Structure 1
Amino acid sequence: MDMMNDPAKGNSDILRELLHYQMPFGKYKGHLIRTLPISYLEWFVQKGFPAGKLGMLLQTMYEIRLNGLEYLLDGLRKGN
Protein backbone atom coordinates (compact mmCIF):
# COMPACT_ATOMS: atom_id res chain seq x y z
CA MET A 1 0.00 0.00 0.00
CA ASP A 2 1.43 3.40 -0.95
CA MET A 3 1.24 6.73 0.88
CA MET A 4 -1.67 7.89 -1.26
CA ASN A 5 -3.79 4.97 -0.05
CA ASP A 6 -2.62 5.06 3.56
CA PRO A 7 -2.83 8.59 5.02
CA ALA A 8 -1.46 7.53 8.41
CA LYS A 9 1.68 6.18 6.74
CA GLY A 10 2.06 9.38 4.71
CA ASN A 11 1.83 11.57 7.81
CA SER A 12 4.45 9.47 9.59
CA ASP A 13 6.79 9.73 6.59
CA ILE A 14 6.41 13.52 6.52
CA LEU A 15 7.23 13.77 10.21
CA ARG A 16 10.26 11.53 9.76
CA GLU A 17 11.52 13.77 6.94
CA LEU A 18 11.33 16.77 9.25
CA LEU A 19 13.91 15.07 11.47
CA HIS A 20 16.66 15.43 8.85
CA TYR A 21 15.53 17.76 6.02
CA GLN A 22 17.76 20.82 5.69
CA MET A 23 16.80 24.27 4.47
CA PRO A 24 18.41 24.52 1.01
CA PHE A 25 18.68 28.32 0.77
CA GLY A 26 18.47 31.65 2.54
CA LYS A 27 19.50 32.88 5.96
CA TYR A 28 19.07 29.43 7.49
CA LYS A 29 20.63 27.39 4.68
CA GLY A 30 21.85 24.07 6.08
CA HIS A 31 19.70 24.26 9.23
CA LEU A 32 17.24 21.47 9.87
CA ILE A 33 13.69 22.59 9.14
CA ARG A 34 12.62 21.38 12.58
CA THR A 35 15.05 23.88 14.17
CA LEU A 36 13.97 26.95 12.20
CA PRO A 37 12.66 29.81 14.36
CA ILE A 38 8.92 30.38 14.32
CA SER A 39 9.53 33.94 13.05
CA TYR A 40 11.11 32.52 9.88
CA LEU A 41 8.18 30.15 9.35
CA GLU A 42 5.77 33.05 9.91
CA TRP A 43 7.59 35.00 7.21
CA PHE A 44 6.70 32.22 4.76
CA VAL A 45 3.08 32.38 5.92
CA GLN A 46 3.03 36.06 4.91
CA LYS A 47 5.07 35.77 1.70
CA GLY A 48 4.02 32.30 0.56
CA PHE A 49 5.58 28.90 0.98
CA PRO A 50 7.80 27.60 -1.82
CA ALA A 51 6.26 25.12 -4.23
CA GLY A 52 6.75 21.40 -3.90
CA LYS A 53 8.13 19.25 -1.13
CA LEU A 54 10.05 22.03 0.62
CA GLY A 55 6.95 24.20 0.90
CA MET A 56 4.92 21.30 2.23
CA LEU A 57 7.55 20.53 4.88
CA LEU A 58 7.86 24.18 5.93
CA GLN A 59 4.10 24.52 6.19
CA THR A 60 3.87 21.29 8.18
CA MET A 61 6.55 22.52 10.59
CA TYR A 62 4.70 25.81 10.98
CA GLU A 63 1.47 23.96 11.84
CA ILE A 64 3.33 21.75 14.32
CA ARG A 65 4.80 24.80 16.07
CA LEU A 66 1.55 26.79 15.93
CA ASN A 67 -0.37 23.97 17.58
CA GLY A 68 2.27 22.92 20.13
CA LEU A 69 2.82 19.51 18.56
CA GLU A 70 6.63 19.37 18.75
CA TYR A 71 6.27 16.28 20.93
CA LEU A 72 5.37 14.35 17.76
CA LEU A 73 8.87 14.94 16.41
CA ASP A 74 10.49 14.35 19.81
CA GLY A 75 8.81 10.95 20.01
CA LEU A 76 10.07 9.97 16.56
CA ARG A 77 13.60 11.16 17.36
CA LYS A 78 13.71 9.01 20.47
CA GLY A 79 12.37 6.04 18.53
CA ASN A 80 15.15 6.25 15.91
Structure 2
Amino acid sequence: MRATVRLNDALLKAAKREAAKRGETLTALIDPGLRLVLAKPRPAPRRRVTLPVCRAGGGLLPGVDLNNSAALLDILEGRR
Protein backbone atom coordinates (compact mmCIF):
# COMPACT_ATOMS: atom_id res chain seq x y z
CA MET A 1 0.00 0.00 0.00
CA ARG A 2 1.30 3.46 -0.81
CA ALA A 3 1.02 6.42 1.52
CA THR A 4 2.30 9.97 1.63
CA VAL A 5 4.00 10.95 4.85
CA ARG A 6 5.58 14.31 5.68
CA LEU A 7 8.90 13.97 7.50
CA ASN A 8 11.41 16.45 8.82
CA ASP A 9 14.06 16.99 6.11
CA ALA A 10 16.99 16.06 8.36
CA LEU A 11 15.19 12.92 9.57
CA LEU A 12 14.42 11.82 6.02
CA LYS A 13 18.03 12.37 4.90
CA ALA A 14 19.33 10.37 7.87
CA ALA A 15 16.83 7.57 7.19
CA LYS A 16 17.79 7.41 3.51
CA ARG A 17 21.49 7.33 4.44
CA GLU A 18 20.89 4.52 6.95
CA ALA A 19 18.80 2.51 4.48
CA ALA A 20 21.54 2.85 1.84
CA LYS A 21 24.21 1.83 4.35
CA ARG A 22 22.18 -1.29 5.19
CA GLY A 23 21.47 -2.01 1.54
CA GLU A 24 17.71 -1.86 1.98
CA THR A 25 14.84 0.36 0.92
CA LEU A 26 13.50 3.24 2.95
CA THR A 27 10.29 1.25 3.41
CA ALA A 28 12.24 -1.72 4.78
CA LEU A 29 13.91 0.61 7.28
CA ILE A 30 10.72 2.40 8.38
CA ASP A 31 8.38 -0.61 8.57
CA PRO A 32 9.94 -2.36 11.64
CA GLY A 33 10.27 0.95 13.50
CA LEU A 34 6.63 1.79 12.94
CA ARG A 35 5.63 -1.70 14.08
CA LEU A 36 7.62 -1.23 17.30
CA VAL A 37 5.90 2.08 18.04
CA LEU A 38 2.45 0.62 17.38
CA ALA A 39 3.11 -2.48 19.49
CA LYS A 40 4.28 -0.48 22.51
CA PRO A 41 1.41 0.15 24.93
CA ARG A 42 0.64 3.80 25.53
CA PRO A 43 1.13 4.93 29.12
CA ALA A 44 -2.05 5.72 31.00
CA PRO A 45 -2.72 9.44 31.26
CA ARG A 46 -1.46 10.87 34.52
CA ARG A 47 -4.15 11.85 36.96
CA ARG A 48 -3.98 15.20 38.66
CA VAL A 49 -3.01 14.83 42.31
CA THR A 50 -4.38 17.19 44.93
CA LEU A 51 -1.98 17.62 47.81
CA PRO A 52 -3.28 18.30 51.31
CA VAL A 53 -2.89 21.80 52.67
CA CYS A 54 -2.05 22.27 56.33
CA ARG A 55 -4.12 25.03 57.87
CA ALA A 56 -2.71 24.65 61.37
CA GLY A 57 -1.42 27.76 63.06
CA GLY A 58 2.06 28.21 64.38
CA GLY A 59 5.10 28.32 62.19
CA LEU A 60 8.80 27.94 62.68
CA LEU A 61 10.34 27.74 66.09
CA PRO A 62 12.32 30.80 67.13
CA GLY A 63 15.88 30.66 65.81
CA VAL A 64 15.16 28.31 62.90
CA ASP A 65 16.56 29.67 59.63
CA LEU A 66 15.36 27.74 56.57
CA ASN A 67 18.17 29.27 54.51
CA ASN A 68 20.89 27.71 56.68
CA SER A 69 21.02 24.00 55.88
CA ALA A 70 23.88 23.28 58.30
CA ALA A 71 21.89 24.76 61.20
CA LEU A 72 18.78 22.85 60.13
CA LEU A 73 20.75 19.60 60.11
CA ASP A 74 22.07 20.37 63.58
CA ILE A 75 18.51 20.93 64.85
CA LEU A 76 17.20 17.76 63.19
CA GLU A 77 20.02 15.67 64.61
CA GLY A 78 19.60 17.14 68.10
CA ARG A 79 22.96 18.93 68.23
CA ARG A 80 21.31 22.26 68.92
TM-score (norm 2): 0.23
Using structure 1 for the length normalisation, give the TM-score.
Answer: 0.23
Q: For the pair shown, which has the larger CA radius of gyration, 1 or 2?
A: 2
Which one scores higher on RCO, CA 8 angstroms, separation ≥ 6? 1
